[in-house]
Amino acid sequence: MKKIVKYIVVCILILRQNENAFSQPTTIVQKRIISFYNCENFYDTIDQKNIIDEEFTPNSTKAYNSRLFQLKRQQIAKTIFELGKQEEQDGISLMGLVEIENKIVLEALVKDPLIQKYHYQIIHFDSKDYRGIDVALLYHPEHFKPYQYKPISLSIKNHQTDFPTRDILYVKGQLDQEWIHILVNHWPSRRGGSRDSEKRRFWASEVARNFIDSLQNSDRGAKILMMGDFNDNPTDASLLNIPLKNPFYELFKKGYGSLAFNDQWNLFDQILMSESLFAPENTLSYYKSVIYNKNNRAELHGRYRGYPKRTWSGDQYNAGYSDHFPVSIILKLKIAENPLK
């Protein structure tokens, strides 16, 4: 009898040990795609008052009509679709866009049949840029929940006058229940030469730096993503002024770029991140950075072989995508699951 009781007790203990082992949470690693794209003059066909957009109207030398607008929209939608397929994923989580005219073109974009199923949502404000081009953020509603968003105005001092340019778009929200701060940028161009115009971009970097400092002073572990077309390379003073890590720095040092000019590669399109996103033990952490320069995005022949295949060559429609390659970072997301649930 004692042997039977002892046997039963041992069996119960073994069952409890196995139950505890099976009930331990397991960690599943997923990926999240964060992308940025300069769309190269994504305008509607309407001549708007108080902005210089006449070049992109039906009566212009480009003869920019609804057919060409639809082709432009389809090319951008195709780019977003392909970016969302990286790392065998299905859709981007966040995407910064610049050189978009207004919310009208964004609403047409997210309704494109190729990406409509993702139900991408839009965050956008009209800026004071003289060409009427703005910055925006698209987000996947199943991955990201916005909490706060606002434009940060840039008024660039230029020879005693204000030089209106694109705002910085600030968005705070939860990416898979992790609080994150996002800054979407399109800094002043190199018009007039890189040296003469660099003070305008450095001023933009000062505005961004001060804002980031305020976030980090409130929360030293704040998770921050800063993306944009900065019109400067990772090694330029304006980007070195930003207190974030830049995973595109090493890519540029190795000779990679997102756009080319006079046979020289530049990497103006970048995504910078706070130190907290590089800690592999965290729920969200950096995995890799990508310049999406697939062959269908590049010129395949001629003098500009390898350059981004742009939409226009002067006033001639070139059937391309943009004069910039899009860029992405891939984040790893750790999800704890209980197998008994």
Average pLDDT for the chain: 90
Fold of 24-335: Deoxyribonuclease I; Chain A (3.60.10)
- Whole-angstrom CA distances from 223 to 73, 158, 176, 187 are 32, 33, 13, 22
157 has a pLDDT exceeding 70:
no
17 has a pLDDT exceeding 70:
no
| 192 vs 226, more confident | 226
What would the pLDDT profile of 123-156 be if each residue is shown by its tens digit? Answer: 999 998 888 999 999 999 999 999 999 999 987 6
| 127 vs 212, more confident | 212
User: Are the C-beta atoms of residues 123 and 146 closer than 8 Å to each other?
Assistant: yes
Per-domain residue ranges of the chain: 24-335
What would the pLDDT profile of 185-204 be if each residue is shown by its tens digit? Answer: 999 987 766 677 788 899 99
What would the pLDDT profile of 29-86 be if each residue is shown by its tens digit? Answer: 889 999 999 999 999 999 988 888 999 999 999 999 999 999 999 999 999 999 999 9
Percent of the chain scored above 70 by pLDDT?
Answer: 88
> What is the spatial distance between Cα 49 and Cα 16, in angstroms, rounded to a whole number?
75
> What is the spatial distance between Cα 327 and Cα 331, in angstroms, rounded to a whole number?
13
Averaged over 269-294, what is the pLDDT? 95
Q: What is the pLDDT of residue 205?
A: 96
Structure token pair of residue 293: 């320069």
- State whether residue 36 is helix, strand or coil: strand
- Confidence category of residue 165, pLDDT binned at 50, 70, 90: confident
Quick one: which of 264, 265, 259, 200 has its CA closest to 229?
Answer: 259
> Within a 10 A sphere around the Cβ of 221, how many other Cβ atoms?
11
Residue 270 φ/ψ, nearest 5 degrees? -145, 160
106: left (phi over 0), alpha (psi -120 to 50) or beta: alpha
